[in-house]
A and B are shown apart, each in its own frame.
Chain A
Amino acid sequence: MTLRRLLLGWVMSGYALVAVASVEPLTFSSPEAENRYKNLIEELRCLVCQNQNLAASDADLAKDLRRETYNMVEEGKTEAEVVDFMVDRYGDFVLYRPPVKSTTLLLWLAPLLLALVGLTILILQIRKRKAASTSDEALSSEEQARLNSLLNQTTDPRNTR
């Protein structure tokens, strides 16, 4: 029992550690500055762990970049200015939302292009099917004559004898 309690306590303290690890106690000069800071660390990527933003990352570099971000926000820099600072040093990769440029145009347009391709295929298929089904309904005069003769054969069995 005591062992289990000990284990539980150990696990819980571990969780507590994880929870506070990436949150430095910061005081902001205004709620607006705090907002700016929070937006920025959500939008900026940690370059060490790559699939985490600055807010979530525990890497040393992420801590340093959060500190830089905080300092710049407190100096009254706008979000765009802080983003420019990061892009100048680390490139577009630091942004979770890549900017629209000639090199990223394909990336941005790909979903639209794929949707268009899919839609085109869908429309072509529907038309094809419709064409196939209408040609089934309309019989040529030859076919109609043959059908009639066949129908007459089956409806009037005396004719066959």
Chain B
Amino acid sequence: MMRLLIPFGIFIVLIGFLGIGLGLNPREVPSPLINKSAPDFELPMLADPGESLGLEDFKADGVVLFNVWASWCVACRHEHPLLVSLARQNAIPIYGLNYKDERPAALQWLRQLGNPYKASAFDEDGRVGIDWGVYGVPETFLVDARGVIRYKHTGPLTAEAWETELLPRIRQLREQEG
């Protein structure tokens, strides 16, 4: 009896591990930046190359979303209506990082689909993206009033992700700040 039970036990454990493995998302790379000060940056604004946008501008707004997007990014198109509706509801100030894009194409995109951003920084060569550990667009960072990254959502933002991942954290952060 034992002769059969031991291999069967090993088999069950293996199946358990494989089952867990199936549920994991291999594309998800945990960011080492969570709960650390956001990387400082200073970039020209998308709308006006003469003006600059930086981390300091976020701080005045308290808790903000920092959304990495590009006009060439198909998945960004999927999440865009949600961002627009969040901006309309004044749910949270949203800043954009226009990542490795062309200025006319990006501006055209915002004109067509609506502009949910208070402002977008124009990261032409993706250098600031690297500092923020961006490896696929879209990505959305939750930055608190002290400029600390509290959460990162990789991939298009969904209503579900907003409700379950972002909103509870935003509420908690706002409570802490009073």
Contacts and interface: CB of A to CB of B under 8 A. Distances in A.
Interface of A: 47-48, 50, 60-61, 64-65, 68, 87-93
A91 B125 contact: no
B31 A91 contact: yes
Q: How many B residues are at the interface, by size bracket?
A: 10 to 19
24 contacts: A47-B29, A47-B135, A47-B136, A50-B27, A61-B135, A64-B125, A64-B126, A64-B129, A64-B130, A65-B130, A68-B127, A68-B130, A88-B32, A89-B130, A89-B132, A90-B133, A90-B135, A91-B29, A91-B31, A91-B32, A91-B133, A92-B32, A93-B29, A93-B30
Contacts of B126: 60-61, 64
Interface string B1-42: 000000000000000000000000011011111000000000
B177 to A, nearest CB: 27
Interface in B86-118: 100
A90 B125 contact: no
B26 A89 contact: no
Contacts of B33: 89
The B interface is mostly helix, strand or loop, or mixed, namely loop
Most central of B31, B126, B133, B135 by chain A CB within 10 Å: B135
Given A47-B136, A88-B32, A90-B32, 6 more contacts: A64-B129, A68-B130, A89-B130, A89-B133, A91-B29, A91-B31
Nearest to A65: B130
Nearest to B133: A89
Going nearest first, the 10 A-B pairs with the smallest beta carbon separation are A47-B135, A89-B133, A91-B32, A93-B29, A64-B126, A90-B133, A61-B135, A91-B30, A47-B29, A48-B135
B131 interface: yes
A65 B133 CA distance: 11
Contacts of A87: 32
A100 to B, nearest CB: 17
B136 A89 contact: no
Contacts of B135: 47-48, 61, 90
Nearest to B132: A89
A94 to B, nearest CB: 8
Contacts of A64: 125-127, 129-130
A92 B135 CA distance: 14
Contacts of A50: 26-27
Nearest to B27: A50
A60 B136 CA distance: 10
A61 B132 CA distance: 13
Interface string B37-58: 0000000000000000000000
